[in-house]
Amino acid sequence: MQAAEIDEYFPVVDIDSSALEAARMLAEHSLPGIVVVTADGQLYAVLPASEVVRFIVPSYVQDDPLLAGVLAESMADRAAETLGGKTLRELLPQHQLTLSVANADDTIIEVAAMMGRLRSPLIAVMKQGRLHGVITASRLLAMALKCGLTEQASTAVVTGLKTEWASL
C-alpha cells in the first residue's frame, strides 16, 4: 500500500487568502491542519492545527513563551484580533514551515514514521511534482488497521474475538 493509494482530497487555501478565514475553516470543520498553496497551485506549506493556533499568539510571546503567563486576560481574549486583515503570506514567515511531504510511492510506514518525527497530523503526498492528496493521521490508522488485520481477523475467530474485530 503506497501513499498515493491512501491519500484523500483535502481543502487547500491560497497563500494570499485571509488568515482569519483559514483559522475559521479549521475551527468549523475540526480539520487536523491546513494545506497552503500558491496562486499557481504549488504546495507552499502543510500546517498542523497546533501551528495555526499560533497565529493568535502575539509574536513577542512566541519569541518568549514565559510572557504568555503575564499577559493580562483581557489582552489574551482579544488576541484573535491580530488576525484581522492579515493574509497567510504575511503570517507564515514567522512560523516554522515543516515540510510534511511524502512521495506517491512511500509506504504506509514511511508516512507513519514521518508523522511521528514531525509531530504532524497530516502529510501532503506529491506525485510528479504536484499535490496528489493528503493523508491524515486518522486516515492512516484506519487504513493500517483495515489492511494489517486481515490476517489477524481469522485468528480472532479462533480466540473468540470475532465480534470485536468484525466491526473493522
Name the grid cell of 9.
482530497
Nearest distance in Å: CB 21, its own copies: 8
Bridge partner list, 18? 87
Q: What is the per-residue binding string for its own copies in 41-60, x denoting contact by CB under 8 A?
A: -------xxxxxxx-xxx--
Rg for the chain, CA atoms, rounded: 20
Which residue's CB is nearer to its own copies, number 40 or number 163?
A: 163
* Listed residue (80, 77, 82, 107) closest to 4, CA to CA: 107
Nearest distance in Å: CB 68, its own copies: 4
Verify binding: residue 14, its own copies, rule CB under 8 A: no
Bridge partner list, 122? 136
Verify binding: residue 107, its own copies, rule CB under 8 A: yes
User: Which residues, 6+ apart, have CB-to-CB distance to 88 below 8 Å?
Assistant: 13, 14, 15, 16, 17, 18, 19, 22, 36
Verify binding: residue 148, its own copies, rule CB under 8 A: yes
Which residues of this chain interact with its own copies, rule CB under 8 A?
1-2, 20, 23-24, 26-32, 48-54, 56-58, 61-62, 65, 68-69, 71, 73, 75-81, 83-84, 106-110, 112-121, 136-142, 144-145, 147-149, 151-152, 168
